[in-house]
Structure 1
Amino acid sequence: MATKHLMLPAALLLAGCLRSMPTRDAWTNDTSIEFPRFFEQPAVEAGAAGGSVELSGSALRALEVAAADFLGPQDANTPCVDRRESHRYRVIQRQGILFIRIDEDPQACGLSVPALHSGAQYAVGSDGRILRRLRDGEPDESMEPTDAGPGVLVPTSEVGRPFDPPDGSVPLPFIQAPSPDAGTGVRHNP
Structure 2
Amino acid sequence: MAARERLADDPSITFPGFFDDTAVQTDADGGVVELTGALLRAVEVAADDFLGPQDANTLCVDRHESHRYRVVRRQGIIFIRIDEDPRACGLTVPALHSGAQYAIGSDGRILRRLRDGEPDGSLAPTDAGSGIPVPTSEVGRSFEAPDGAVPLPF
- Same fold per TM (> 0.5)? yes
Q: Deviations over 1:34-86 (max 9, x none)?
A: 00010111100113142212111000000000000000000000000000000
Higher mean alpha-carbon deviation, 100-109 vs 141-150, is at: 141-150
User: Is the counterpart of residue 89 in structure 1 residue 58 in structure 2?
Assistant: no
Deviations 1:134-162 (A, max 9, x none): 00011111110011222333467988696
Distance 1:23 1:142, change over 3 A: closer
Q: Choose the corresponding residue for 2:13, options 15, 33, 41.
A: 33
Residue of 72, 90, 112 corresponding to 2:92: 112
Highest relative contact order (Cα 8 Å, sep 6+), 1 or 2?
A: 2
Question: Are 2:23 and 1:46 equivalent residues in the alignment?
Answer: no
Structure with higher helix content: 1
Partner of 1:135: 115
SS of aligned partner of 2:5? coil
Alignment of 1:1-190 (within 5 A): 24-154=4-134, 181=146, 185-186=148-149
Corresponding position of 1:10: none
Tell me the C-alpha RMSD between the 2 structures.
2.5
Instruction: Kindly tell me the number of residue pairs found equivalent between the two proteins.
Output: 148
Q: What is the aligned-residue identity percentage?
A: 69
Query: Relative to structure 1, is the Cα distance of residues 101 and 149 closer, same or farther in structure 2, using a 3 angstrom cutoff?
Result: same
Name the counterpart of 1:173: none
Distance 2:142 2:108 in 1: 60
Q: Distance in 2 between matches of 1:92 and 1:137?
A: 21
Corresponding letter in the other structure for 2:50: F
Structure 2 counterpart SS, 1:33 = coil
| Structure 2 unpaired stretches of 5+ | none
Distance (Å, rounded) in 2 between the aligned partners of 1:157 and 1:77: 56
Larger Rg: 1
Q: Distance in 2 between matches of 1:24 and 1:70?
A: 9
Q: Distance in 1 between matches of 2:76 and 2:117?
A: 27
Shift of 1:185: 2.0
How far is 1:186 from its partner? 4.1
The aligned residue for residue 177 of structure 1 is none
Q: Residue 116 of structure 1: CA displacement?
A: 0.5
How far apart are the structure 1 equivalents of 2:36 and 2:63?
23
